[in-house]
């Protein structure tokens, strides 16, 4: 059985792609009777406010017809930004060499938070160098990962 998040991706991804954008990521958070559905979209030349509005209108229409979320929810559409979240192994591979912040679902070697250099991907593991020590973190254990912008 697919998770709620996976079901939403299957429903929403074709809509976003039909508008010339990529679905970078999706976050679904349920808070009692009210939920938030946050979409991050990207494009070859970035994302404009008009792209976000266009995607929001189309996805909202599909959500009204398909009704995959019971109760009220807020739909948010934005670009991933400079501190873009990372969701897939392909996204981690794309940003090898960047500084990242990773939070795990359960502790690994006594810690849940890692901030360091994204040094690669091996199979289903993400390699991160923190204080001259390399960690292999299973992608399925990662709760949240973001690029740390360097200015």
Same domain, 18 and 74: yes
Same domain, 17 and 72: yes
Integer CA distances (angstroms), 120 to 11, 39, 80, 112, in order: 31, 26, 21, 19
Same domain, 17 and 74: yes
Q: What is the mean pLDDT of residues 33-42?
A: 92
Residue 12 lies in a domain: yes
Same domain, 109 and 135: yes
CA distance 115 to 107: 14
80-132 pLDDT per residue, tens: 999 999 999 999 999 999 999 999 999 988 999 999 999 999 999 999 999 99
Long-range contacts, stretch 3-6, CB < 8 angstroms, 24+ apart: 4/28, 4/68
Domain count, the chain: 2
Residue 120 lies in a domain: yes
Structure confidence at residue 31 (pLDDT): 80
Residue 84 lies in a domain: no
DSSP secondary-structure letter at 96? T
Name the domain boundary from 20, 51, 78: 78
User: In which domain, by residue range, is 141 found?
Assistant: 89-147
Name the domain boundary from 45, 78, 111: 78
Residue 126 lies in a domain: yes
**pTM (predicted TM-score):** 0.86
């Amino acid at each position: 059985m697919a998770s709620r998040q996976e079901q939403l991706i299957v429903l929403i991804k074709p809509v976003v792609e039909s508008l010339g954008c990529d679905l970078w990521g999706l976050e679904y958070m349920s808070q009692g009777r009210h939920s938030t559905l946050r979409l991050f979209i990207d494009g070859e030349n970035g994302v404009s406010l008009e792209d976000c509005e266009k995607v929001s209108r189309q996805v909202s229409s599909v959500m009204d017809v398909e009704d995959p979320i019971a109760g009220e929810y807020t739909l948010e559409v934005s670009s991933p930004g400079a501190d873009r979240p990372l969701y897939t192994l392909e996204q981690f591979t794309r940003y090898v060499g960047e500084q990242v912040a990773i939070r795990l679902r359960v502790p690994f070697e006594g810690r849940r938070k890692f901030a360091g250099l994204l040094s690669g991907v091996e199979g289903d593991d993400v390699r991160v160098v923190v204080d001259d020590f390399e960690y292999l973190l299973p992608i399925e254990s990662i709760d949240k990962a973001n690029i740390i912008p360097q200015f």
